[in-house]
Structure 1
Amino acid sequence: MKILSLLLLLPLLAFSQNSKTYNDTIPAKELNNEELQMKEYINSSYVNDSKKLLGVEFGNIVLEDINAELFISENEKKIIFYNFWSKSCAPCLEEIPMLNALKKKYKNKVEFVAITFDDVEIIKKVEFNFRHFIVDKNEIYKLNFNSGFPISFIISNGKILYYKLGGTTSESPFHNASTKQTFFKFCEIIDNEISKLK
């Protein structure tokens, strides 16, 4: 299978100082006591990091998926949800059921893209319902993802609406609450953007 180059111009090395911020809240009525207790913990980690990138141009990605179909991100009219993951990353695997549920909810309104450096045989063993692309590990490392995987981006009109890095495993006392909050947050952002695009 031919793997095309990753033409990603994401400025991770120099965050925009003037980028927009997003009111990162979930209605309290949707969270139970345990979730409310860990909300500040979550917000202090990946959520605050995401605000540095909001509104930044994501750049164009040109790739061939594992079925040899070409993907050119700038030709997409839908919202694009990118997830960078690896089979060796436990939090990546733990969040896949939640991501599959997200795709099921928005399958006709959002393009769901998974990017990894794992080989195709590994990908086929994981029940992950996104469109899959394999990129050379060195190309992914050039993006300066210092916090590791998983990493998710929600993109619309070429700009970053949301950026989430990291995750938890089932061994964490925050895992269930964190996963639930992440799902709600993704839905909130996608729903808000869908309403703007109508």
Structure 2
Amino acid sequence: MRLALFFLFVSYISVNAQRKDIEVDIGDSFPAFELKNLNNKTVTLEDLKGKVIFLNTWFNGCKPCVEEMPELNKLSNKYKDRVLFLSMTLDNKEETKEFLKTHPYNFEHLVDAEPFLKDVLGSKAYPRNIIIDRNGKIQFITYGLPHIKRPEDKEPIMSDFTFFEKPLLKVLSL
């Protein structure tokens, strides 16, 4: 019995050691993609070569995704001349257009991205913000704006867009 458990354990370790987790990480090259935008134009990673990209992944039923959008709009407004602000959403074109009528979001939106986000990017939680340098390397990843608790607040409050400025400026200086 002990021997059988030992071999089962060794097999488990061996299989999992060979399995590469698909989740991307800082320093990785951002995976190639081919997705449609709201105008039905195909956008690829190759099209974005040489640009600093701030990528937000989201879907319209995600409360934290929607909560951070006004702050991401502020970031976009401040750096729009130097950074490409791109979103990938699980939602389709029609759902996204309808959502944007009541929730302004100043990014370029790539729709129907669920297969890419889950199977290629390894997204398990939303929102996720990724800063990609001009060479296509991932330089920063976070799952949404963090919440902070100040002594005077009873509940944690969401950070503002300045949370992203330090890593964004670092990538812009590369």
1:67 aligns to 2:44 (yes or no):
no
Name the amino acid aligned to 2:45: S
* CA displacement, residues 143-176 of structure 1 (integer Å, 9 cap, x when unaligned): 4322x2101110011111100114568xx82223
Looking at structure 2, the residues matched to 56 and 138 of structure 1 have their Cα atoms a distance apart, in angstroms, of: 19
* CA displacement, residues 91-114 of structure 1 (integer Å, 9 cap, x when unaligned): 111100110001001101111111
Looking at structure 1, the residues matched to 42 and 116 of structure 2 have their Cα atoms a distance apart, in angstroms, of: 18
Q: TM-score, normalised by structure 1?
A: 0.63
User: How many aligned residue pairs are there?
Assistant: 144
Name the amino acid aligned to 2:59: S
Residues 106, 173 of structure 1: CA spacing in aligned structure 2 closer, same or farther, 3 A cutoff? same
Where does structure 2 lack aligned partners over 5 or more consecutive residues? 1-19, 148-153
1:112 aligns to 2:114 (yes or no):
no
Contact kept in structure 2, 1:55 and 1:159, CA below 8 Å: yes
Residues 73, 14 of structure 1: CA spacing in aligned structure 2 closer, same or farther, 3 A cutoff? closer
In the TM superposition, what are the counterparts of 1:1-198 in structure 2 within 5 Å?
A: 13=21, 53-76=25-48, 77-118=50-91, 119=95, 120-142=97-119, 143-146=121-124, 148-156=125-133, 157-167=135-145, 173-176=155-158, 179-180=159-160, 183-196=161-174
Contact kept in structure 2, 1:92 and 1:167, CA below 8 Å: no
Q: TM-score, normalised by structure 2?
A: 0.71
CA RMSD of aligned residues (A): 2.7
Looking at structure 1, the residues matched to 83 and 145 of structure 2 have their Cα atoms a distance apart, in angstroms, of: 22
| Identity across matched positions, percent | 30
User: Could you tell me how far 1:87 is from its partner in structure 2?
Assistant: 1.3
User: Could you tell me how far 1:81 is from its partner in structure 2?
Assistant: 0.9
